[in-house]
Amino acid sequence: MPDPSQEFHSKVLGRAGEKLVCKYLRRHGYKIVARNYVTPFGEADIIAYRKGTYCLVEVKTREGDILALPSEAVTRAKQERYRKIARFFCAAKRQEVPIRYDVASVLDGEIEYFEGAFI
- What domains are there in the chain, each with its CATH number? 4-118 (3.40.1350.10)
Q: Are 58 and 36 in contact (CB under 8 A)?
A: no
Q: How far is residue 52 from each of residues 21, 74, 95, 97, 119, measured CA to CA in Å?
A: 20, 25, 13, 8, 17
| pLDDT in single tens digits along all 119 residues of the chain | 567 677 776 788 889 999 999 999 999 999 999 999 999 999 999 999 999 999 999 999 887 766 666 667 788 999 999 999 999 999 998 888 899 999 999 988 899 999 999 88
Which residue, among 29, 33, 119, has the nearest Cα to 79 in the 3D structure?
A: 119
